[in-house]
Amino acid sequence: MTTLRLTAKTSASRQTVWSLLADFANINSFNPNLTGSYLLEGNWGEIGVGTKRQCDIAGPGKNFIQEEIIEWVPGSHYVIDVFNGTLPVAQSKTTFGVFDLAQTTGSEIYMEFTYTPKLGTFGALLDTLILRHVFRLMLSRVPKGLARKAEQIEGEASAMPI
């Protein structure tokens, strides 16, 4: 099992960052690795534990993941389990969260991706040689994209005339 933790600091408030995270269906609004995202059928009620979405992954082929929220702490974090998809992983969980920065304005965004590669021992070797490096490169864009989007929203709000 491999765990990658990625972070980004932002001048945006925790509340603004959380509002983007809580818009669960639209992660593609800040995740540059995706061409689209949407809630799966039957998940149009309140977002929380049990809500499922599909994320269509950019790049060659028709790659996707389907995720389900397994833990939801409003204003803080949520944990998702990937239950289906085309990634070369047997199982994975991802935590997205945000907290206030101490002694300064702004917040810190974190993403923790824990996975077990497919293909047993061969998969473990591929993970060491290739997978974790590719995942780290791709996933590092997510907290950074979220930080940029949150700062953009706050910038637009402060520029609005009163």
Residue 42 pLDDT > 80, yes or no? no
Asked if pLDDT for residue 162 goes beyond 80, the answer is no
Q: What is the DSSP string of the chain?
A: -EEEEEEEEESS-HHHHHHHHH-GGGGGGT-TTEEEEEEPTT--SS-STT-EEEEEEPSSS--EEEEEEEEEETTTEEEEEEEEESSSEEEEEEEEEEEEPTTSSSEEEEEEEEEEESSHHHHHHHIIIIIHHHHHHHHTHHHHHHHHHHHHHHHHHHHS--
Tens of pLDDT along 87-124?
889 999 999 999 999 878 899 999 999 999 998 888 88
pLDDT at 157: 67
Domains of the chain (ranges plus CATH)? 2-157 (3.30.530.20)
87, 114 Cβ separation under 8 angstroms: no
Task: Tell me phi and psi for residue 149, to 5 degrees.
Answer: -65, -45
Which of 15-19, 85-89, 138-142, 147-151 is the least confident region? 85-89
* Residue 161 pLDDT greater than 70, yes or no: no
Mean pLDDT (the chain, rounded): 92
Residue 31 confidence (pLDDT): 97
Total-model pTM: 0.88
pLDDT of residue 17: 97
